[in-house]
């Protein structure tokens, strides 16, 4: 773990050199000017026992993609939100034009539980950028299904796969 004073010095030095992203000791971005973020989506999960054909039960889930600008002073621009299926084929683009997300603001995208196009390996690719280095937004999905006395809910955190958002 990097001591806080050394971390501050590293961030300040990297930013003064024009760095687009700064990493902490545990490789988590502290600030960035943009990223492409991979976010897992589970449109269904397998459960229970296998049937006579050797297939387990399938539980359909809804998914809410949440993009949270956690910078209290600067806006970010969401450039694209693309949804892909288990095979990596594009399903749909959820953002027809860039969307400005103000300081501390949140936006969501919702995939209904009856939408099975994605499969268990579906994902979002979210591209965002900012005019200056900002706190990296939190990008995650919340998966749910509530039916009677049975329910399931969990989250999947996004992971940056590229620096730069344009």
This prediction's pTM: 0.80
pLDDT the model gives residue 12: 43
pLDDT tens for the chain, 166 residues: list them: 444 444 444 444 444 444 455 555 555 558 999 999 999 999 888 888 889 999 998 889 999 999 999 999 999 999 999 999 999 999 999 999 999 999 999 999 999 989 989 988 999 999 999 999 999 999 999 999 988 888 889 999 999 999 876 5
Domain boundaries, the chain: 32-163
Contact yes or no for 111/119 (Cβ under 8 A): no
Q: b or e along 75-113 (b: 16 or more beta carbons within 10 Å of the residue's beta carbon)?
A: ebbbbbbebbbeeeeebeebeeeebebeeebebebebeb
Domain 32-163, CATH 2.60.290 — does that match? yes
pLDDT the model gives residue 46: 86
Interatomic CA distance for residues 166 and 160, integer angstroms = 14
Six-digit token string for 13: 């030095």
């Amino acid at each position: 773990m990097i001591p806080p004073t050394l971390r501050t010095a590293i961030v300040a030095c990297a930013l003064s050199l024009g760095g687009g992203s700064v990493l902490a000791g545990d490789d988590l971005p502290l600030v960035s000017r943009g990223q492409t973020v991979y976010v897992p989506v589970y449109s269904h999960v397998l459960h229970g026992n296998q049937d006579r054909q050797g297939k387990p039960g399938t539980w359909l889930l809804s998914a809410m993609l949440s993009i949270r600008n956690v910078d209290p002073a600067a806006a970010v621009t969401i450039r694209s939100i693309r949804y892909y299926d288990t095979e990596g084929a594009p399903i749909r683009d959820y953002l027809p034009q860039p969307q400005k997300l103000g300081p501390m603001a949140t936006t969501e995208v919702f995939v209904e539980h009856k939408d099975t196009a994605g499969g268990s390996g579906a994902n979002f690719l979210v591209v965002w950028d900012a005019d200056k280095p900002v706190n990296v937004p939190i990008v995650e999905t919340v998966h749910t299904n509530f039916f009677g006395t049975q329910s399931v809910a969990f989250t999947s955190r996004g992971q940056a796969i590229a620096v730069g958002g344009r």
